Amino acid sequence: MVLGSKDRKKEIKHLIVKNIVSKGKAGIEMMHKWDKNNDGEINKTEFRSGVRGLQPNGLGMIEIPATDVDSVFEELDSLTAHPGKQPGVLNLKYLDETFQKIKQMAIEEEKLLEEIKQTIDNLNERADAAESVAKLTEECETSSKALDDKCSKLPADVQLGAVMVRKGLKVVDILIKWDENGDGELDAEEFRHHARELGVIASDAAFDDVFNSFDRKREGSLDTQQLKGMLRSLQEMAKSSAADLEKQQKALEVLMKKVKKEQMILAVQNAKEMRQAAEMAARKAAE
């Protein structure tokens, strides 16, 4: 089994923590056995020999360059501080203090790994939510387009009546909005303009046919009473088609509510992730 240098160092540290540090006094006694010359200190050579003899034989199947073992030794050496300390050796008298530091580092590393795992979980949740929003949005847009396409294929008069029903428009409100100059009349050009504003799709000729069907005297304009009668008549004409359109409209509204709900969930997850990232950054800054 061949591991990269970084992985080998992690494996060595893991075995030291598992076989020595976590055993407290028993671990210190084990390291005393590594002191072959009984000078009260462990040098790099003694450390290499001791590490390679750790059980279970997690390292027995791994080819470990001396440089990797030495690198771990140097980390332990840097954690050992005492008066008159000589670099390059581990003084057995101060191993307990060193072990406490190693334990604390292991705890902090475990905590960091848990935070990373939580961040990954949050990202996965956010990805799922984003995918759900995307699918629902696409479905919503498709349904909306299908509804618009269906409406656009209807005759201009039925379209106008259906739009009024779909949008819950009142005749009196339309009269007020359409009579922009307040003269109480509406000509064919104004009719086309306002009908198109509502989303009715038709040619000028189709609009003019609808307009002329109510402008029986060919006066070129409809007064308020004529326009009111036309709009009410168009609403009645659209009722048969409106039932089906209204059903589709309600289904679209339900779908839109789902999209908004999923968007809210995604926003909450984004806020949660940002808060966790800020807390992690604050902890790192305080270290």
Asked if residue 258 and residue 164 are part of one domain, the reply reads: yes
132 part of a folded domain: no
Residue-level pLDDT at 70: 80
CA distance 274 to 127: 15
Asked if residue 261 and residue 171 are part of one domain, the reply reads: yes
127-177 confidence digits (pLDDT tens): 666 666 667 677 767 766 666 666 556 778 878 887 887 777 888 888 888
Residue-level pLDDT at 228: 86
Asked if residue 113 and residue 208 are part of one domain, the reply reads: no
Per-residue pLDDT of the chain (287 residues; tens, 9 = 90+): 444 556 666 776 776 776 677 777 777 788 888 888 888 888 888 888 887 776 555 444 456 677 777 887 888 777 776 666 677 788 877 777 777 777 777 777 777 667 767 766 665 666 666 666 667 677 767 766 666 666 556 778 878 887 887 777 888 888 888 888 888 888 889 889 998 998 888 889 988 898 888 888 888 888 888 888 888 888 777 766 655 556 666 666 666 666 666 666 666 666 666 666 666 666 655 55
136 part of a folded domain: no
> Using an 8 Å Cβ cutoff, are 9 and 72 in contact?
yes
Which residues span the domain enclosing 49?
Answer: 5-118
Asked if residue 111 and residue 174 are part of one domain, the reply reads: no
130 part of a folded domain: no
Global pTM value: 0.36
Last residue of a domain, one of 118, 142, 169: 118
Asked if residue 230 and residue 180 are part of one domain, the reply reads: yes
Asked if residue 170 and residue 105 are part of one domain, the reply reads: no
Asked if residue 166 and residue 104 are part of one domain, the reply reads: no
CA distance 236 to 246: 14
Asked if residue 68 and residue 22 are part of one domain, the reply reads: yes
Asked if residue 76 and residue 160 are part of one domain, the reply reads: no
Asked if residue 191 and residue 93 are part of one domain, the reply reads: no
Q: Which amino acid makes up residue 24? A: G
127 part of a folded domain: no
Q: What is the CATH number of the domain that holds 216?
A: 1.10.238.10
Closest CA to 192 of 178, 181, 182: 178
Q: Which amino acid makes up residue 71? A: S
Please enumerate in sequence order all residues whose Cβ is within 8 A of that of 59, keeping only pairs 6 or more positions apart, or say none. 11, 12, 15, 51, 52
Q: Give the total number of structural domains in the chain.
A: 2
131 part of a folded domain: no
User: Cα 61 to the chain's mean position, in Å?
Assistant: 43
Q: What angle do CA 212, 165, 214 make, to 5 degrees?
A: 15
> Using an 8 Å Cβ cutoff, are 242 and 105 in contact?
no
User: Cα 84 to the chain's mean position, in Å?
Assistant: 55
Asked if residue 205 and residue 109 are part of one domain, the reply reads: no
142 part of a folded domain: no
CA distance 231 to 170: 9
Last residue of a domain, one of 118, 139, 162: 118
Please give the helix or strand (H or E) that residue 1 lies within, else none: none
Last residue of a domain, one of 58, 93, 118: 118
60 part of a folded domain: yes
Asked if residue 195 and residue 105 are part of one domain, the reply reads: no
145 part of a folded domain: no
